[in-house]
Chains A and B, each alone.
Chain A
Amino acid sequence: MQKRTFGAYSGWSLALAIVMFYALLPVLWLISLSLKTPATVSDKKFIPQDVTFDNYTALFHGGFDSPLLRPLINSVAIASIATFIAVTLASFTAYAIARLTFPGKSVILAGALAIAMFPPISVVGPLFDMWRRLGLYDTYPGLIIPYLTFALPLAIYTLVAFFREIPWELEQAAQVDGATPWQAFTKVILPLAAPGVFTAAILVFIFAWNDFVFAITLTSSDSARTVPAALAFFTGDSQFTAPTGNIAAAAVLVTIPIIVFVLIFQRRIVAGLTAGAVKG
């Protein structure tokens, strides 16, 4: 065993400080920029001299015609719906893979893995063409469908790993003790499966929330454009003022939910991320 000396503790504290600095530096810089006034935005200082929230309020000025409100609603709706569908479909598949015997199991897993490595840019052109013909271009389903598909492998791998660790024999034990199959499922299996399902949902949501390639290729207006795509096409009040403060404010706003997620669910996210990738 390592001796837990004062030196070890201070070394560890230093490492912790370095890691936190590394992770938070760009976020802090964005927060700083977002609070600066137009006059001080170029002062290169980390602490804003005059604090203003104008950059934030400007993002929502004008309601549905504002730069951020529609994209924000689109992002939340599209990512949530894609997450719900992907996790539902992946749960069926993962249950079958973890619990049932059938041929083609390894084919499905290998196929899912292949899709996890698939370059999205390779399907963007055909999807662009297909979606225009099918009327899905620049609509919610037009983004939900690719998101849920590309998130399925991640969700399936995470759920298979979790489902394999569920002691399924408890289901029978409960039935022996007089529970109906439905009770055995809802009272015994569901609570055991919920953390895995939830973890998969978090990972899928982060994936859909993060996407940029599909968001800029399969949309053309605010009717389905998500926040990352909207950010890339932000314009200032005039053509010649770079909207640094506004972009920074919007960037901070879309980062807050992620930081909250990560703070609350860090243990689960780590378990989910590493679930499929390490050989048992």
Chain B
Amino acid sequence: MTAVPIGRKAAAKKSGGPTQTSDRTKAERKLALMLCAPAVVCMLLVTLYPILYAIVLSVQKVDLRFPDESGFVGLSNYVSVLTSPLWWQDVFNTSLVTVVSVVIELVLGMGLALVMHRALFARGLIRTSVLIPYGIVTVVAAFAWFFAFDPTSGFVNSLPFIPDDKAWFGNRGSAFEVIILTEIWKTTPFMALLLLAGLATIDEGLYEAARVDGANAWQRFFRITLPLLRPALLVALLFRTLDAFRVFDSIFIMTRGSQDTESVSILGYNQLISRLNLGLGSAVSVLIFILVLLIAFVFVRFLGTAVPSSQGEK
């Protein structure tokens, strides 16, 4: 499952490294660049160019409902966003959903990964089961849970200990509970699979040795599994944190941001698409982009997450 460099070594040997004639090296470079060009151009055109364009839009007044009033306004869009309580409320909401769902996912995902790692039979069946939430369309998952918690037709309110008329989406706290539940349900399997792949790289002999030395199950988990799983764990956390920070689909389906459940992505959508205020909306977009960069930076710089790209040869 891991990219052990058998083929890589062979390839490096074949291409001969720097000792080969420079003609051959040049030809190889040219071929490589030609092969990479389409994908690279595509990625730059659809991400880098638009984000630069978003920065340009964000310092202008561009409101498609009032096209005549366009013009350069400096940082005033940013000032409007950063001084509005709604933005900070949405940043808080998004962070809340991200932190709570990722923490619970981590615990559940770890349990699931350990269960799958020790599978005695029906490995395929359990793998299929956990892949269903991963594969299911997020909008569909959101509808499924929305209908389950819906006070008129949902089964949840007929369960014991839950008031029959509880309006889950009528109140901020309970609406968040359902939104977070949906996020957790959908993405725990992804976390579990990444952790499972990490578990597979741990040498079983270590556990044998620890057992011989008298370590109990908890000690083996905290002294062997967790430290050795750290790289895989951090990568999984980074991916899931950034993914959770984009939360949009489930909130859009369940509340559309009512009851103060708006996320930053919903705010961006409302400004850009519903209100057609491209200037202000782009300022929101750029700020979201900066927040995502900050999160990635914290993970890589302070937590020492070894991002997968570093496994590529230098």
Chain A interface (Cβ within 8 Å of chain B)? 2, 4, 8-9, 12, 15-16, 19-20, 22-24, 26-27, 29-30, 33, 41-46, 89-90, 92-93, 95-106, 108-113, 115-130, 145-146, 148-150, 152-153, 156-157, 160-161, 163-169, 206, 209-210, 212-213, 216-217, 227-228, 231-232, 244, 247-248, 251, 254-255, 258-259, 261-263, 266-267, 269-271, 273-280
Q: Is the interface of A mostly helix, strand, loop or mixed?
A: helix
Chain B contributes a number of interface residues (CB within 8 A of A) equal to: 119
In contact, B282 and A258 (Cβ under 8 angstroms)? no
In contact, B312 and A103 (Cβ under 8 angstroms)? no
Interfacial chain A residues near B31, Cβ < 8 Å: 96, 100
In contact, B272 and A111 (Cβ under 8 angstroms)? no
Interfacial chain A residues near B49, Cβ < 8 Å: 126
Q: Which residue of A lies closest to B265 (CB)?
A: A121
Q: Is the interface of B mostly helix, strand, loop or mixed?
A: helix
Interfacial chain A residues near B193, Cβ < 8 Å: 270, 273-274
In contact, B143 and A231 (Cβ under 8 angstroms)? yes
Q: Lowest 4 A-B CB distances belong to which pairs?
A: A274-B197, A26-B144, A102-B32, A126-B50
Interfacial chain B residues near A103, Cβ < 8 Å: 29
Q: Give the contacts of B9-65 with A (CB-CB under 8 A).
A: 10-12, 14-15, 17, 25, 28-29, 31-33, 35-36, 38-40, 42-43, 45-47, 49-51, 53-54, 57
In contact, A12 and B119 (Cβ under 8 angstroms)? yes
- Option from A27, A115, A270, A280 in Cβ contact (under 8 Å) with B3: A280
> Contacts A19-B112, A24-B129, A278-B235: A232 and B252 contacting too (C-beta < 8 A)?
yes
In contact, B42 and A148 (Cβ under 8 angstroms)? yes
B140 to chain A minimum Cβ distance, whole angstroms, is 4
- Residue from B131, B145, B313 whose CB has the most chain A CB atoms within 10 Å: B131
Chain B interface (Cβ within 8 Å of chain A)? 1-8, 10-12, 14-15, 17, 25, 28-29, 31-33, 35-36, 38-40, 42-43, 45-47, 49-51, 53-54, 57, 112, 115, 118-122, 124-141, 143-145, 147-148, 150, 152-155, 157-158, 185, 189-190, 193-194, 196-198, 201, 231-232, 235-236, 238-239, 242, 245-246, 248-249, 252-253, 264-265, 268-269, 272-273, 278, 281-282, 285-286, 288-289, 292, 296, 306-314
